[in-house]
Amino acid sequence: MKITTKKQFILASESPRRKELFGKLGIPFEVKASGAAEIVKRNLSVEEIAMHIAIDKTVAILEENPSAIVIAADTIVSLNDELLMKPKDNEEAKTFLQKLSGNTHQVTTGVAIYGEGTSISFAETTLVKFFDLSEEHIDAYIATGDSLDKAGAYGIQTMGGLFVERIQGDYNNVIGLPISRLFKVLLSLRLIEIERVVNA
């Protein structure tokens, strides 16, 4: 199976994790950081907040690349309606992990696809259950420096995954991009096509 496109795609993200996931489509794309401020509007649901931030990221890129299809995403960790964004320091990272310990939290990624007459956004949520974490384990993980650039202060694809008892939903969504759902949406919009490859 080969995925083809006649469109110019730009992934509006500085995340190497999203770049790697988007690369699974096997189509040419550029990566550009939007520089858009991640403004949280508290009167919205978590899904709406994630989608609005993703949309803002696409707008900044589209102004300079009007003929491209721009895709952006934003991932938010929430626990009992409390948003656990990227921690500002190790102390806040520890507080986040203590709250997540032994509990089930939500990881929501908002995705926006804009450009060339397309303007669509959606959100995907995965439930993640943590084991009970000791203070020693939390401190040891924080000392690796892995917490500070990740929503909820952990990465499921790194050593933070050792804290996960189970998940319900899309694993890639927790990393930062629900690539399977994105694939289906891009197909439905006819922005990509599947080409059957026959071995000689």
What are the tens digits of pLDDT across the range 103-154? Answer: 999 999 999 999 999 999 999 999 999 999 999 999 999 999 999 989 999 9
Q: Is 107 helix (H, G, I), strand (E, B) or coil?
A: strand
Q: Of all residues in the chain, what percent carry a pLDDT higher than 90?
A: 85
- Amino acid at position 94, single letter: K
pTM: 0.92
- How confident is the prediction for the chain on average, in pLDDT? 93
Q: Which of 74, 81, 132, 139 is catalytic?
A: 74
Distances (CA, A) of 72 to 53, 147, 168: 9, 22, 24
Give the model's pLDDT for residue 153: 96
What are the tens digits of pLDDT across the range 34-78? Answer: 876 666 777 899 999 999 999 999 998 998 999 999 999 999 999
Asked about 89 being catalytic, the answer comes back as no
Residue with tokens 């399977």: 180
Distances (CA, A) of 71 to 19, 109, 129, 143, 198: 11, 13, 29, 33, 31
Q: Taking residues 94-111, what's their average pLDDT?
A: 98
